[in-house]
Amino acid sequence: MRGPGRLLGWCVVVLGLAAGCSSVPGTGRQRVNFMPSGQMNRLGEETFDTLLASKTTLDTGPAAAMVRRVGSRVVESARTLYPDGDLPSHWEIVLIDDETPNAFALPGGRIGVHTGMVDLAGGEDGLGIVLGHEVGHVLAAHSAERMSHGLLIVGGLAIGSTALEDEDEATRARIIGALGAGATIGITLPYSRLHETEADELGLMIAANAGFDPRQAIPLWQRMARQGGQRMEFLSTHPVPQTRIEEFKRLMPKAIALYEQSRTR
């Protein structure tokens, strides 16, 4: 029965890939995503509430007002620039009292921005680029794609385990462990870096279209580079800052054209 069982398992994986294929608005990249958007939005809301339960949020003051103002412009820009994107109808953008320079986005249009990131952004242009990046993650449904990949990897490892059932336990554990590590280095981490690069591109265009100077992306990431040490890119979830800066330079002519058009409106 092992042969038919493996065949059925592979059929499930292949059908999942075929059924979940779609393209990312703005970049056209083909992706695998078979997670229902309603389920992802509920998960995003629950996760966001859990994260905020241990945080102090700031609702008043100049920084909170700037986050809401810039966020509103960025979201509206994303709607007009990528009308085919499945963007949430309601967004919640929250300022969190935390000096760590960080921002994050969850499905359903929930974004958290640390006060440390507001400081590092250096003004509305930099903040627009940061928030554009986070909206880009939501636009591209990166969380759903990562979850889809995770389910396919788990399914593939289960199939591999079944195929090795005649091996002794120690051998099976070594092989499955190696396959899992290979999936992390060969699939999970590269796609994580790809998602960051894609969100950089989408975010830069969204920010420029909203009237924020895209040229501020380069000094922003130069400041970000000074925040962290050196790391090997192929073992990282994010591209190194210099890689991102070079990509911003490549995209800059298109972004500046959008920025100039926004200034005439």
Query: Which of the four pLDDT bands, split at 50, 70 and 90, describes residue 86?
Result: confident
The per-residue pLDDT for 173 is 53
Q: Is 109 helix (H, G, I), strand (E, B) or coil?
A: coil
pLDDT beyond 70 at 185: no
Higher pLDDT, 23 or 12: 23
The per-residue pLDDT for 182 is 43
Query: DSSP state, 192?
Result: H
Distances in whole angstroms, Cα of residue 75 to Cα of each of 17, 110, 160, 210: 30, 12, 44, 9
pLDDT beyond 50 at 10: no
Long-range contacts from 41-44, C-beta under 8 angstroms, 24+ separation: 41/88, 41/107, 41/108, 42/108, 43/107, 44/106, 44/107, 44/108, 44/109, 44/110, 44/143
The per-residue pLDDT for 24 is 94
pLDDT beyond 60 at 230: no
Query: Which of the four pLDDT bands, split at 50, 70 and 90, describes residue 165?
Result: low
Distances in whole angstroms, Cα of residue 3 to Cα of each of 107, 152, 162, 175, 229: 39, 20, 10, 20, 49
> How many percent of the chain have pLDDT more than 90?
58
Query: Which of the four pLDDT bands, split at 50, 70 and 90, describes residue 3?
Result: very low
The per-residue pLDDT for 9 is 43
Higher pLDDT, 159 or 260: 260
Q: Which of 51-65, 75-89, 100-114, 141-155 has the lowest mean pLDDT?
A: 141-155
> Which residues 6+ apart lie within 8 Å of 38 measured at CB?
none
Helices (H), the chain: 2-19, 37-53, 62-81, 115-121, 124-139, 142-163, 169-183, 189-209, 217-227, 241-264
Which of 188, 149, 147, 153 shows the shortest CA–CA distance to 39?
147
Average pLDDT, rounded, for the chain: 81
Residues recognised as catalytic: 134
Q: What is this structure's pTM?
A: 0.78
Q: Are 73 and 128 in contact (CB under 8 A)?
A: yes
The per-residue pLDDT for 227 is 79
Higher pLDDT, 56 or 1: 56
Query: Which of the four pLDDT bands, split at 50, 70 and 90, describes residue 146?
Result: confident
